[in-house]
């Protein structure tokens, strides 16, 4: 069974630009969550989607948004990028409470 797939693996963007990250969950998993990982703040929850609806949201500004498609694939968008948005963005698909993470997208904002 294929794991969680995140694309792209690496991204370099300029301050002020926007970026879209993609996540394909494990087949059969309908819940997709996004996390930001930084050395200073650790792993922080961004939001969760279940059956195309946002079910939970963390404490991040509105520049961070997401969506989920009917096939459970999810995208995360960050608008007006700031230097502090540089991080590893992780997607996790969940089934019966167990969360399985992808390898992440390393975003660098310059």
Residues in contact with another protein by CB under 8 A are 4, 31, 33, 35, 42-45, 48, 50, 55-56, 58, 90, 92, 94, 97-104
Interatomic CA distance for residues 20 and 7, integer angstroms? 9
CB atoms within 10 A of CB 65: 17
What tokens were used for 33?
A: 């969550």
Region of 108 (left: φ > 0; alpha: ψ -120 to 50; beta: rest) is: beta
Question: In this complex, which beta carbon is closest to another protein, that of residue 14 or of residue 97?
Answer: 97
Question: In this complex, which beta carbon is closest to another protein, that of residue 35 or of residue 64?
Answer: 35
Q: How far is the CB of 15 from another protein (least distance, A)?
A: 25
What tokens were used for 65?
A: 């948004």
Question: In this complex, which beta carbon is closest to another protein, that of residue 8 or of residue 16?
Answer: 8
Q: How far is the CB of 33 from another protein (least distance, A)?
A: 5
């Amino acid at each position: 069974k294929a794991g969680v797939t995140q694309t792209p693996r690496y991204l370099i963007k300029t301050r002020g630009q926007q970026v879209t990250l993609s996540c394909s969950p494990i087949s059969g998993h309908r819940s997709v969550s996004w996390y930001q990982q930084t050395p200073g703040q650790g792993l922080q929850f961004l939001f969760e989607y279940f059956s195309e609806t946002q079910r939970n949201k963390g404490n991040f500004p509105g520049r961070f948004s997401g969506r989920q498609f009917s096939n459970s694939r999810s995208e995360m968008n960050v608008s007006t990028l700031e230097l502090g948005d540089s991080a590893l963005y992780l997607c996790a698909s969940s089934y019966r409470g167990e969360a399985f993470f992808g390898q992440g997208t390393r975003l660098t904002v310059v």
